[in-house]
């Protein structure tokens, strides 16, 4: 993977998470930081430091980015007509 295809997210303790840029772009805030015009450090170096977020929380955030990248679209395209009502508890659908 090329360096320009990754982003480095740095926690309060200095732990570095190197993730796919596509995954990081799930966050509108990170997207704005990385794509804003001008010569900001985040834009130039492809890294974002989060001085208020500890390592454990940032790890979960990164996991969410990958989950969202993989599954969020399938939830958006979910069709209620594809449910097989034979398997749904009758109390729930009455």
What's 8's domain CATH number? 3.30.710.10
Residue 91 within any structural domain of the chain? no
The confidence band for 69, taking pLDDT boundaries of 50, 70 and 90, is confident
* Total domain count, the chain: 1
Domain of residue 55: give its range.
3-78
Residue 55 within any structural domain of the chain? yes
Residue 83 within any structural domain of the chain? no
Strand partners, 16: 10
Q: What are phi and psi of 90, to 5 degrees?
A: -55, -30
* Predicted TM-score (pTM) of this structure: 0.70
> Which residue, 44, 5, 4, is CA-closest to 23?
5
Structure tokens at 80: 């209620």
DSSP 72: H
Cβ–Cβ under 8 Å, residues 38 and 80 = no
pLDDT per position as a tens digit, 14-39: 999 999 999 999 999 999 888 888 76
* 72 pLDDT higher than 80: no
Neighbours of 58 (CB within 10 A): 19
């Amino acid at each position: 993977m090329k360096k320009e295809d990754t982003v480095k997210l740095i926690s309060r303790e200095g732990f570095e998470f190197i993730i796919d840029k596509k995954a990081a772009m799930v966050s509108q805030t990170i997207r704005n930081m990385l794509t804003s015009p001008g010569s900001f450090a985040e834009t130039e170096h492809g890294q974002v430091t989060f001085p208020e977020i500890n390592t454990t929380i940032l790890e979960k955030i990164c996991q969410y980015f990958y989950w969202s990248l993989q599954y969020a679209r399938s939830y958006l395209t979910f069709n209620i007509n594809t449910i097989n009502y034979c398997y749904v508890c009758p109390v729930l659908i009455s």
